[in-house]
Amino acid sequence: MSWLEGKTARLVGESPVIAAALAAHGATLVDDGGCDVLLHIAAPPLAKPAHELSHAEWRAALDSGLDQRFLLARDYAALRRAAGKGGAVVYVGAPEQALGSDHAAAAGALGNLTKTLGVEWARDGIRVNAILTCETGETLGNLVAYLASDYAAYVTGAVMGVGLDD
């Protein structure tokens, strides 16, 4: 299948499975600059009980799990709008309940941000979706490729889970 033939994708973060799925479906991976698809893969933070978190650790989790993701997507959307083109943003990370209160706050807010940006940016042809999972296998890679493809042209603002009952 060539769901992403002719598309360029920027993968921020590390996931060999997602990179392989994008390439298998025809996407060309790029390091920076203009791209059709922006994918952000968050590395899971170390889980720490809430009563042991410092304010700096709390802020760092919100910065990496929410703020940096928003800023990256905002800049991507501005470039796509200026070029008169649509695009897709896909966030991937662990679900709220997986890794502690700081991660829960960031992941929960990311879900709401995804829904809001999905609605706001739909008029510009920019789709925004999130997958919150601890899954790292082929199913995840194929779901990301699907959400990045034109087959998901009407999917925006969705927050999905994969393998959450493992």
Summarised one tens digit per residue, pLDDT across range 144-165 is: 999 999 999 999 999 998 774 5
Summarised one tens digit per residue, pLDDT across range 114-149 is: 999 999 999 999 999 999 988 888 999 999 999 999
pTM listed for this prediction: 0.92
CATH number at residue 26: 3.40.50.720
Residue 165 lies in a domain: no
Residue 129 lies in a domain: yes
What total of structural domains would you count in the chain?
A: 1
Q: What domain range is 89 assigned to?
A: 8-160
What string of DSSP letters covers 86-142?
-EEEEEEE--GGGS-HHHHHHHHHHHHHHHHHHHHHHTTTEEEEEEE-S--SHHHHH
Residue 116 lies in a domain: yes
Residue 104 lies in a domain: yes
Q: Are 96 and 132 in contact (CB under 8 A)?
A: yes
